Structure 1
């Protein structure tokens, strides 16, 4: 039977309103509203037409309900920059990511969530407490994506055009999910990952939207990636070369390190202003000196390697989930190298494959 929730997901992924979809399909807008409300079903001919327009196979619309993230439960990195169309498209991408996440759970043994609820803590104490809980001490975090995956967080990319949708996170039951914009620098993407981790621990199952929540997540990210004790051991900083050295050690942007040093009183107000003037002059507010390599996913690399060993790949996964290959690639873009399978008819990985994540 034609599934209304899947029509909503496909329409939002195509970036169309109900009125626009109706116009392209040659039907009344009220008809599309009725389809998505479950009031009535499209004919076979109309269903095929909707499938062609939206770019999703007909089989996608004929399966069970899909779990769509609740808008009020999603923490977006920057709500002010997004249009409603972009927000709905990103949330619909989350629904497809949930399908991929369920497939992973069925096929592989992966870590359960080890992300604690720290709603009673301040951002700074939560950052220090989580480092202790995970046994990280004060040492630099080599790879945020690997760390999140090791602790049971599902990490996906946002393959959207433009940077308006910075990043977002959402809890689905006991499984946390983080979505990162793949068009940002590696350093800023790491900060986004820490920012979303802040939402996950500070605002678990609560409505995390609002300026105060964003401020808390930023404070958490700064304290988590740039712990206070090691920076205080360095002492006061006055020159840009030292700031660049520290930013490379912490894996953050030079602007973020400059702000953190001033926040901790390790750079005077005058020094802070002079440093930012120099950053602007050199173009380092957007481009990084000595940029990092983009972090990639351990889980998806191992999964795709496993698929390729069995002669399959993203194309075969697309067939199993009845989701366009392009949608899967967007969710993995920048997190892993995606290859086209050599044999689309090959069998999938045997159930309960064994994947091992390492620190």
Structure 2
């Protein structure tokens, strides 16, 4: 095991690395003791706690032991990194309020480390976007719907359904990553709150980042992405009604009132909602709520259709599965680096990842399926998964 003899760990990076794995301090201590292999090892949960609080210096062999246990290069743990959290670098997430604090901390840690990886990947060649994400203040005079219309106008988007929300976000300088955030739940589109489908941040001076939860149903994905865009446009600081505002923004951004009103004229039934779903590429539930919001149907019609859809099981599984949109910009950046002579090992080093994890996250490669690749370290699983 190589020894990092000069550098020492930054306490907050020890925390982020651990939380990104979904581990507790005791999990780290147990892994480190197993790797250390000495009967008289002094490593314990208390030792990890003191290291993370900055009460002791972690360097040399102990730094390498931490890195090996957590499955990251030691250079990551020594990084002095500004963290995105509350305030100007607010992290937004479309989630149920019941999500536990440990899960939420892991998701935020993954987002922060993704920011580190992106900077390492781009190096001195930041991406030049055709568009930019504007910041619009919502108040008594400007509604979320006004903000959505302003963004569509500024970006000169065509009327009607968008061909791709992912491509639109990437054209505006956003980076969309597909990441395993939490086990995706069933559709449940009848509810306003949903499991974590995405998390985003748009701190000043940095490119916007959206982490899209792997496995998010295509029926919900476009609305989720538009919801996150709404946060980045309207909420540079927290707002008590930000989730409702982001939902209103997303509905207008994906289904502009002036464009969809005619399509909602006449009889609205399940067959009509299904046709509109294939055209607008959003869930039947989103279309039903939109019809109600625009007064295309009465309260009684809304409740009747909602009961009918629920009785048919459409809360969890709607007819006609929509294909999920795929991000392109991140993979294109990796492919460009590879085409210019970089190799996977050097890109992994630049992004402060081990080669195997970089391959899995950025090239969709499983090291176990590519036996010709050297496997230096297989990532440890969470104790909860064992």
Same fold (TM over 0.5): yes
| Bigger Rg over Cα | 2
Q: Does 1:138 align with 2:159?
A: yes
Matches within 5 A, 1:267-306: 267-306=297-336
Matches within 5 A, 1:150-299: 150-163=171-184, 164-174=195-205, 175-204=207-236, 206-208=237-239, 210=240, 212-234=241-263, 235-299=265-329
Q: Structure 1 residues 118, 241: CA separation in 2 closer, same or farther (over 3 Å shift)?
A: same
Quote the offset at 1:330 in angstroms. Answer: 7.1
* 1:179 aligned counterpart, secondary structure: strand
Partner residue, 1:3: 9
Quote the offset at 1:54 in angstroms. Answer: 1.5
Q: Structure 1 residues 270, 324: CA separation in 2 closer, same or farther (over 3 Å shift)?
A: farther
For residues 43 and 272 of structure 2, the distance between their equivalents in structure 1, rounded to whole angstroms, comes to 64
Q: Which residue of 24, 43, 47 maps to 1:17?
A: 24
Retained in 1: the 8 A contact 2:91–2:200? Answer: yes
Q: What residue ranges of structure 1 are gaps of 5+ in the alignment?
A: 346-359
For residues 23 and 109 of structure 1, the distance between their equivalents in structure 2, rounded to whole angstroms, comes to 40
Quote the offset at 1:17 in angstroms. Answer: 2.8
* 1:65 aligned counterpart, secondary structure: coil
Q: Structure 1 residues 240, 146: CA separation in 2 closer, same or farther (over 3 Å shift)?
A: same
Q: Which residue of 27, 46, 63 maps to 1:47?
A: 63
Partner residue, 1:338: 364
Retained in 1: the 8 A contact 2:202–2:208? Answer: yes
Q: Report the count of equivalent residues.
A: 337
Q: Structure 1 residues 47, 105: CA separation in 2 closer, same or farther (over 3 Å shift)?
A: closer
Q: Structure 1 residues 239, 94: CA separation in 2 closer, same or farther (over 3 Å shift)?
A: same
* 2:261 aligned counterpart, secondary structure: helix
Retained in 2: the 8 A contact 1:159–1:330? Answer: no
Offset from partner CA, 1:310-346 (integer Å, 9 cap, x none): 67665553233231356556766xxxx624698979x
* 1:172 aligned counterpart, secondary structure: coil
